[in-house]
């Protein structure tokens, strides 16, 4: 999980850096043309696809909702190929654009459902908030698909309501999970040293707690437990 997060952060930093360089070049040259627009669109597609893929892989790593995780990875890979090809080839087909927009809506709904599940550990929220948020996201994608296929925008109010509910679920997930998860949930015994227990606790990433006091670790630091009988 940590390696996936690290890959995502590095990838996001790389995408942001490239976007900044393209923007600087456009400003210096005094021209923001079609090529720059395609580069930015490709970077946006890369970020969305990367986020969806990483979320799907993280869900698979947890071993929960594997179908949703697999769907996220497949949508990320297939959608990225199709969107990138369209950005640069510019196929003149209204129906093909509709298909791509529907694909994007489904991918974003999958991303919302996946990230919501990843943020939850309290069983009560997994049974209530997650299905509500995932359902709202799925219905929002279905509403977009219906409007595009019928070439009618009459469902925009329903879509807006469902989108608001989806965003609300994403915002509430980490907040409510924080308050509803017991303090000792997610503990994992690593080792016993003398009369002490070395325990890993979820939610304390980068922190060591000793007798109620917290000590922050640097990004490149880890913990080594040494026996007094074998000093370093």
pLDDT by residue (tens digit) across 134-157? 999 999 999 999 999 998 888 999
Residue 182: per-residue pLDDT: 58
**Closest C-alpha to 64, from 9, 134, 25, 117:** 117
Q: What is the mean pLDDT of residues 110-126?
A: 92
Show me where the domains of the chain are located: 1-90, 95-181, 186-232
| Residue 170 CB partners (closer than 8 Å, separation 6+) | 112, 115, 116, 119, 133
Take residue 142 and report the two structure tokens written for it: 């279905």
Q: Is the model's pLDDT at 36 over the cut of 90?
A: no
Residue 156: per-residue pLDDT: 93
Residue 37: per-residue pLDDT: 82
Q: Which residue has the tokens 């000793």?
A: 210
Q: How far apart are CA 145 and CA 141, in angstroms?
A: 6
**Closest C-alpha to 137, from 148, 147, 145:** 145
Average per-residue pLDDT for the chain: 82
Rounded to a whole number of angstroms, the CA Rg of the chain reads: 22
The helix/strand/coil state of 90 is coil
Take residue 73 and report the two structure tokens written for it: 């990875």
The helix/strand/coil state of 217 is coil
Q: Is the model's pLDDT at 35 over the cut of 90?
A: no
Please give the share of the chain, as a percent, with pLDDT higher than 90.
42
């Amino acid at each position: 999980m940590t390696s996936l997060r690290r890959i995502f952060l590095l990838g996001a930093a790389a995408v942001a850096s490239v976007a900044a360089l393209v923007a600087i070049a456009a400003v210096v040259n005094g021209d923001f043309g079609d090529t720059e627009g395609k580069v930015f669109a490709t970077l946006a597609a890369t970020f969305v696809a990367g986020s969806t893929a990483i979320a799907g892989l993280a869900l698979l790593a947890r071993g929960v909702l594997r179908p949703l995780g697999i769907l996220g990875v497949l949508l990320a890979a297939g959608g990225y190929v199709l969107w990138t090809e369209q950005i640069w080839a510019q196929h003149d087909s209204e129906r093909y654009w509709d298909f791509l927009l529907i694909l994007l809506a489904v991918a974003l709904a999958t991303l919302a459902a996946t990230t919501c599940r990843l943020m939850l550990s309290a069983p009560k929220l997994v049974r209530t908030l997650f299905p509500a948020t995932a359902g709202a996201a799925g219905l929002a994608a279905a509403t977009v698909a219906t409007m595009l296929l019928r070439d009618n925008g009459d469902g925009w109010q329903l879509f807006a309501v469902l989108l608001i509910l989806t965003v609300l679920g994403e915002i509430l997930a980490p907040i409510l999970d924080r308050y509803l998860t017991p303090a000792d949930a997610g503990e994992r015994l690593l080792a016993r040293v003398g009369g002490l227990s070395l325990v890993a606790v979820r939610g304390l990433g980068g922190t060591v707690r000793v007798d109620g006091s917290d000590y922050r670790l640097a990004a490149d630091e880890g913990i080594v437990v040494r026996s007094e009988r074998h000093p370093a």
